[in-house]
A = this chain, B = another copy of it.
Amino acid sequence: MRGVVMHAPGDVRVRDRDDPRIVEPTDAVIRVTAACVCGSDLWPYRGVEEVADAPMGHEYVGVVERIGDQVREIEVGDFVVGSFFASDNTCEICRAGYQSRCVHAEPIGALGTQAQYARIPLADGTLVATPGMPAPELIPSLLAASDVLGTGWFGAVAAEAGPGKTVAVVGDGAVGLLAVLAARRLGAERIVIFSRHADRQRLAIEFGATDIVAERGAEGVAQIKELTGGLGAHSVVEAVGTQESMMQAIRSTRPGGHVGYVGVAHGVRLPGEELFFSGVHLHGGPAPVRRFLPELIDLIWNRTIDPGKVFDLTLPLEDAAEGYKAMDERRAIKALLRP
C-alpha cells in the first residue's frame, strides 16, 4: 500500500509500505477513507522533535476490512471513527474517562494512518461505528472527531466551560477553533479567541466566538482582564503547547478558574510560585477522545455541528507533502488527505 513517511524534518514522502495485517486477535484493519495532518505533526516537521523515516498520521476514519478473532463489537464493513490512542475501554483508567492513558494504551501515530490501510489495536475499545455509511459531506467532520474536535472538546471540558462562563481560547489552529465550537455547545456565555489571522477569526466567529483579541502575551492578558471586570476568564483553553502560550493561558484565568491545556507541551517549565499564587485549576494532556466519540458522532450525524470546516485544504494522499507545507506556512488551517 501507499503511505506517508517523514524521512527527516521537512521531508515528507509517500512510499510503498507493507500492507497492515491482524497481529493481535483484538486488532482490526481498516481501509482509510480520510486522514489528515495534525498540528502536532509539525513539531517533527520543524525539527523540534527528532524524526527519521517515521510512518505518519494518527487521525482516521474508514471502513473495517478485517478483524481479529476476539473482536466482538466492531464488524467488517462498519464505517468507524477512532481515537489517536488505542484503548481497551474497560480498565479502571478508561472507565474513569481517561482512555488516552489506558493501562494498555498504544499510540496510533506509531502505526501511521496517513496511508491506504491501517491496523487499529484494541478495536472494540478504540473504534466507534457510525449508524451507517456516512454521506460524503459528513466525512470531514467525522474525521475531525478523531482528534482535533475531540481534543478541543476535552480542552473546553477540562477548562469547565459552561453556562454563565467567559471562556478564552489561546491558539487559533484547528484545535483552538474547535474548542470555541465546544465551548459554545457546552453553553458558555462569552467566548474569546486570541487570533490575528482573518480567516481563522471568521471561522471562530462562525463556531461561536463572541470576541477576538489580536494581542498576545501581557497585552493579550490585559485585554482579557479588561473584558472581565479585571478578574480574568473563568475558563481558558490552551491549544498551542509553548511556554508563552501556557503562561498566557494561566495569566488569563481568574483565581479559582480552570485552564484546560491540550497543546502538546514542548520545552515548557511552569514556575511553581506563580502557579501557586494564581489559584487556578490546571488539567489537560492527550485528550481521551474515546470518551467523547459517541456524543460527537451523534452531533455530527444529526448535523448539529460541522467541525469539518477546519479542513480548508483537501489533497490526494500522494500530495501529502504539500499538506504539511501549507500548514507549516499557515496557508492552511488543516489538510485532509484522501488515500
B261, B279, B281: the one within 8 Å of A276 (CB): B261
Q: Give chain A interface residues in 94-134, CB to chain B under 8 Å.
A: 96-98, 100-101, 103
| Size band of the interface chain A makes with B | 35 or more
**A256 contacts B103, CB within 8 Å?**
no
Bound Cα distance from A214 to B324, whole angstroms: 51
**A268 contacts B264, CB within 8 Å?**
no
**A103 contacts B230, CB within 8 Å?**
yes
B230, B279, B281: the one within 8 Å of A100 (CB): B279
A255 → chain B, closest Cβ, in Å?
3
Bound Cα distance from A288 to B285, whole angstroms: 27
A282 CB–B CB distance under 8 Å: yes
B-contact bits for A225-263, CB 8 A (1 contact / 0 none):
000011100000000010100100000001110000100
**B269 contacts A272, CB within 8 Å?**
yes
Q: Give chain A interface residues in 270-285, CB to chain B under 8 Å.
A: 270-273, 275-285
A92 CB–B CB distance under 8 Å: yes
A276 contacts across to B, CB distance below 8 A: 241, 261, 264-265, 268, 284-286
A202 CB–B CB distance under 8 Å: no
**B256 contacts A93, CB within 8 Å?**
yes
A285 contacts across to B, CB distance below 8 A: 255, 275-279
**B265 contacts A273, CB within 8 Å?**
yes
A267 CB–B CB distance under 8 Å: yes
Known A-B contacts A265-B272, A272-B270, A273-B268; A256 and B97 likewise in contact (beta carbons under 8 Å): yes
Known A-B contacts A93-B231, A283-B282; A267 and B272 likewise in contact (beta carbons under 8 Å): yes
- Number of identical monomers bound together in the oligomeric complex: 2
A266 CB–B CB distance under 8 Å: yes
A285 → chain B, closest Cβ, in Å?
4
Bound Cα distance from A270 to B246, whole angstroms: 12
A273 → chain B, closest Cβ, in Å?
5
A265 contacts across to B, CB distance below 8 A: 272-273, 275-276
A34 → chain B, closest Cβ, in Å?
27
Best-surrounded residue of A264, A283, A288 (most CB of chain B within 10 A):
A283
Bound Cα distance from A266 to B272, whole angstroms: 7
A268 contacts across to B, CB distance below 8 A: 271-273, 275-276
- Determine the residue in chain B with the shortest Cβ distance to A254: B93
A275 contacts across to B, CB distance below 8 A: 265, 268, 270, 282, 285
Bound Cα distance from A288 to B277, whole angstroms: 12
Bound Cα distance from A268 to B270, whole angstroms: 8
Bound Cα distance from A138 to B162, whole angstroms: 43
**B282 contacts A282, CB within 8 Å?**
yes
A237 → chain B, closest Cβ, in Å?
14
A256 contacts across to B, CB distance below 8 A: 93, 96-98, 101, 288
Bound Cα distance from A264 to B283, whole angstroms: 20
A271 contacts across to B, CB distance below 8 A: 268-269
Apart from A101-B256, A268-B272, A270-B270, what are 10 other A-B pairs with CB-CB below 8 Å?
Answer: A92-B229, A92-B231, A101-B279, A255-B285, A265-B275, A266-B273, A276-B284, A278-B285, A279-B286, A281-B282
